[in-house]
Structure 1
Amino acid sequence: MPSDNSYVNIAAYKFITFNDTVEKRPQFRALCEELDLKGTILLSPEGINLFLAGLRESIDRFLAWLRSDERFADIEVKESYSDRQPFNRMLVKLKREIITMKNPLIQPEKGRAPAVDAKTLKRWLDQGHDDAGKPVVMVDTRNAFEVDVGTFNNTIDYRLEKFSEFPEVIAQHKDDLSGKTVVTFCTGGIRCEKAAIHMQNIGFDSVYQLDGGILKYFEEVGGEHYTGDCFVFDYRTALNPKLEATATVQCFACRAVVTPREQLSPYYIPGKSCPHCRKEMREPAQAA
């Protein structure tokens, strides 16, 4: 159980028409500064995406204010806890998209792709098929370095460098997924929601998004059918299925994820280098 001094970390998003972002931005910033919250809020004509941390009372006051806007009254929030503030500053940014896909035809507000909740997905994975008897295929929509920290067993990983690559890649593999039920997933739900809608738009007839992403799955059913941890974009780097911070870190120099085993390497110098840096430095010399 978190203590009274624990920081509450929240992640939330909602696709909704949000045309007054310029006017709202200073209000968001002022309230977060007043409540001593830190993190990042993205405001876009297609909605909102946020990662914030603060003490319980401050988080509750922020959410009450946000939900007083009827557009965000039903926004769903995922929570975890930490013993210190995971963010260094507070940013409120205006963006064209709250998650960049470079596909303006994606408008989740006009209709979501079907979602599968964590308990139902676990049951499907337990039995090896969905309720209609079709085999279930998991498609990871995250970037390759995130997947390397942990993912669902037997998942399809297209080694994406950035999410905007997804539309082209999934089109190339459409025939491979024919006759199967596809479940897209990501950290918190936002990327897999856009991905599933895009897949519907190009003709996939049985595709779901994992509602709430990996973090909601951990919260509701734990880590069954999942190997490793879940990368998160703050100082904790990764959370285990109990939503606890792990010993995994990110290299300050090259931003690679450094596992506990890799931290034993003499090339791992906190704040300066890691084995991944060393490998990158060696490769040109070896090629020569």
Structure 2
Amino acid sequence: MAMDGPITQAQALGTLPLGQGEAARFFAASRFGGIDCLSATFVSHAYALHSHETYAIGSVLAGCEVWNARGRRHHAGPGDLVFNHPLDVHDGAPLDGGYSYRMTYPGLDFIRLVAGSIAGRVVTETPFFPEPVVRDPEGARLFTAAHAALEENHDGLAGEELLLRAFGRMLVLHAGLGEAAIGREAGPVARVRSLIEARYGEDLRLDDLAATAGLSTHHLIRAFRREIGLTPHAYVIDVRVRRAQDSLKSGSALAETAAAVGFADQAHLTRAFKARLGVTPGAYRRAVAG
């Protein structure tokens, strides 16, 4: 039986208690005006038929989810992306032992803004995903990385950039949205690059970087990667690692260095440093000190 009127995902989840081995965590993506996000594992929990006023966009990490929507029965597993439109009536249940998934619930206005950034025009129509589930391992990987970054909330720019890239890919590949062409943007990219070099230790926002460039967020990400070879966030991390090298050469402690260059903590410095230089910051500090 369908529930009366659109409801939030939290209300849908609250109709039945969670069983053994099940977990669900809601959090808000603050950089996007508090978009609801859900990370959950279900073994026996089944949703009743319901609808939302928002989209429901996500990916299954493990296992298999089965649900009814748009007059058909669907299955989703790892590597699949799931799309429900506002007011799509749907349910959801585990199949063969359960499933884990990550979901977002963006509103129509937000998806239109993302679509406009991609298309290079004001989008007034409702972006439509013809298939409720699509096979897209790369898109699922990108979305999962974005969702995890938003949940950890250690690096706001990372979650912001990753989610916009994930939604952008979905709209172009799975909603048929035309992507505006980009030319060479050496001047705008140079301005953003200079800003990052000067303010790498700050909690930068993609909107501010895009305003500096005079480009939309999606256009900036594409143009920056074309000109520099890295996305804006990747370049921020690159600069932080270079400045960490300078700090370690001067004898600074690891925790002090991490805080000074803008990493959330020493562990984040270590991961980024080793990924780029092949050694840990501690090993590097010992080598340059010796």
Q: With structure 2 as the length reference, what TM-score do the two structures score?
A: 0.32
Structure having the higher helix fraction is: 2
Q: Larger Cα Rg: Structure 1 or Structure 2?
A: 2
Greater RCO structure (CA 8 Å; 6+ sep): 1
Q: With structure 1 as the length reference, what TM-score do the two structures score?
A: 0.32
